[in-house]
């Protein structure tokens, strides 16, 4: 398993390094968990003209007018966050979002003066589906151009990855209640993970009182990995001996041949050459409209069109075993009292044709500013479908509730606070963020508590962090 993890991250960062040369982008996503396309602060229908000769004084005056909006003239964009003010005509930067969660262990279980591990209680309280661990990670780079009348052009490059691991409740039943002598205890598990590299180009403009945003994107699946037939067994005897065995069939579909990685003969040029094939295509869109003076609404979607393709497969069997005559010998003698073995066998390298889509998404959003533009209440309700248009497709709901607060300093939204609660990518997340914006430089920082269930997310079952840095004017 260690080799598999290493290979996954080698592919991940190799792809990022190879394509980051000469590519920047704009963070366009349909959730409030990441910075969205920065929209103009202008009110629809309000036109301004620029002189051909544009002096410094004209710029300063225009800038002050651009960033001075009365409470009645609310910012129209639903997807803009507090960090989008003061408005920047040009900007570039990067963001990084990561989180992990599980469905049982909480931070409160470990942040105690005297830590007591009650294995029997753990076995009793463990969910029937077993122990689950989830992880999501998204780094990206962006470049934005925001013009008059809602015109926006953006380029965004990044990698998105997610994975999960499950181990059956039988393991915890064994730890909590034990077993009879010479009784064989079996357990099962599963694992899967996906990683994509994407490049999208956003184009937005005002049209008949609406704001339309189109985001065509190309993406390359990097890896789709699953662990099948994951089994383990434990047997103990009357002498205190223990025998344990585990095995798993690993199947990886990748964009490049994995044999050189296992043989220790990796050719970077070959990896880059493999990136020319297998690209997929999808298109995202959003349509925004001012419903009332204080209420904006929008609908959004991301529709897969052409699936990405993984052209290579690797199959292998991993086995591990452990045997000790008496458990006390293992504690007294360390490795001398333990016999263990780990092996990777039955490697098969083949060409393949495995199609993979990014998740389909649809929904609606609102932004309500009852007290003026300094306070925005946001809401999102939608659904997602992973592995769409396949027999393995499954859907899940999504929601976001948020509040953005701008702290004004001489008409500059230099400081901002953000609080949100969401269910996105099958994980509950509760976020607290801080925005520091000097127009030429912006820093967004956020942390989140997450979990596989709504209640566990408030108990520290998972955590995450978010960072965005932008430069421009």
Residue 358 has pLDDT above 80, yes or no: yes
DSSP assignment, residue 20? -
81 vs 256, residue with greater confidence = 256
pLDDT band at 414 (very low <50, low <70, confident <90, very high): confident
pLDDT at 10: 39
Q: What is the pTM of this model?
A: 0.72
Task: Please enumerate in sequence order all residues whose Cβ is within 8 A of that of 6, keeping only pairs 6 or more positions apart, or say none.
Answer: none
| CB distance 36 to 376 below 8 Å | no
pLDDT 10s digits, 172-217: 887 777 766 677 777 888 888 899 999 999 999 998 889 999 999 9
Question: Among candidates 206, 80, 84, 209, which has minimal Cα distance to 152?
Answer: 206
125 vs 419, residue with greater confidence = 419
41 vs 121, residue with greater confidence = 121
pLDDT at 334: 53
Task: State what percent of residues in the chain have pLDDT above 90.
Answer: 34
pLDDT at 459: 78
Tell me the pLDDT of the chain averaged across its residues.
77
> Residues 116-122: what's their mean pLDDT?
78
d(CA 34, CA 27) in angstroms, rounded, equals 7
pLDDT at 413: 67
427 vs 315, residue with greater confidence = 315
pLDDT at 412: 63
219 vs 182, residue with greater confidence = 219
> Residue 340 forms beta bridges with which residues?
322
3-class SS string, 104-142: CCCHHHCCCCCCCCCHHHHHHHCCCCCEEEEEEEEEEEE
pLDDT at 304: 93
pLDDT at 452: 77
pLDDT band at 42 (very low <50, low <70, confident <90, very high): very low
> Residues 261-290: what's their mean pLDDT?
91
Of 191-200, 239-248, 310-319, 372-381, the least confident: 239-248
| CB distance 295 to 366 below 8 Å | yes
Residue 76 has pLDDT above 50, yes or no: no
Q: What domains, with CATH codes, occur in the chain? A: 2-472 (2.40.160)
């Amino acid at each position: 398993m260690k080799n598999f993890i290493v290979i996954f991250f080698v592919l991940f960062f190799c792809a990022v390094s190879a394509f980051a040369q000469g590519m920047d982008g704009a963070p366009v996503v349909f959730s409030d968990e990441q910075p969205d396309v920065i929209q103009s602060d202008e009110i629809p229908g309000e036109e301004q003209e620029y002189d051909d000769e544009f002096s410094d004084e004209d710029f300063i005056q225009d800038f002050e007018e651009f960033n001075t909006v009365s409470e009645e003239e609310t910012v129209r964009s639903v997807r803009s966050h507090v960090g989008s003010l003061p408005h920047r005509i040009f900007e570039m930067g990067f963001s990084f979002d990561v989180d992990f969660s599980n469905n049982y262990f909480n931070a409160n279980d470990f942040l105690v003066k005297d830590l007591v591990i009650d294995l029997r209680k753990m076995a009793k309280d463990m969910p029937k589906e077993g122990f689950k661990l989830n992880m999501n990670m998204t780094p990206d780079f962006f470049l934005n151009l925001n013009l008059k009348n809602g015109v926006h052009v953006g380029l965004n490059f990044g990698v998105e990855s997610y994975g999960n691991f499950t181990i059956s409740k039988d393991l915890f039943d064994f730890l909590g209640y034990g077993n009879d002598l010479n009784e064989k205890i079996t357990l099962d598990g599963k694992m899967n993970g996906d990683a994509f590299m994407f490049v999208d180009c956003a184009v937005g403009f005002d049209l008949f009182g609406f704001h339309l945003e189109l985001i065509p994107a190309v993406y390359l699946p990097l890896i789709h990995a699953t662990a099948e037939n994951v089994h383990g067994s434990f047997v103990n005897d009357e002498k205190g001996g223990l025998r344990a065995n585990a095995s798993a069939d690993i199947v990886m579909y990748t964009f490049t041949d994995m044999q050189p990685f296992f043989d220790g003969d990796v050719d970077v040029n070959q990896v880059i050459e493999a990136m020319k094939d297998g690209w997929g295509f999808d298109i995202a869109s959003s349509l925004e409209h001012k419903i009332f003076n204080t209420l904006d609404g929008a609908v959004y979607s991301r529709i897969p069109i052409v699936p990405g393709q993984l052209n290579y497969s690797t199959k292998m069997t991993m086995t591990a075993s452990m045997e000790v005559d008496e458990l006390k010998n293992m504690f007294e003698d360390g490795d001398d009292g333990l016999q263990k073995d780990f092996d990777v066998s039955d490697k098969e390298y083949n060409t393949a044709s495995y199609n993979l889509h990014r998740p389909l998404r649809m929904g609606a959003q609102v932004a309500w500013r009852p007290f003026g533009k300094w306070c925005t209440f946001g809401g999102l309700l939608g659904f997602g479908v992973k592995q769409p248009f396949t027999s393995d497709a499954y859907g899940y709901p999504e929601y976001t509730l948020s509040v953005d607060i701008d702290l004004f300093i001489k008409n500059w939204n230099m400081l901002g606070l953000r609080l949100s609660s969401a269910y996105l990518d099958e994980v509950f997340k509760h976020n607290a963020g801080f925005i520091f914006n000097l127009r030429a430089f912006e820093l967004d920082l956020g942390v989140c508590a997450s979990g596989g269930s709504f209640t566990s997310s408030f108990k520290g079952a998972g955590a995450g962090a978010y960072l965005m840095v932008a430069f421009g004017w």
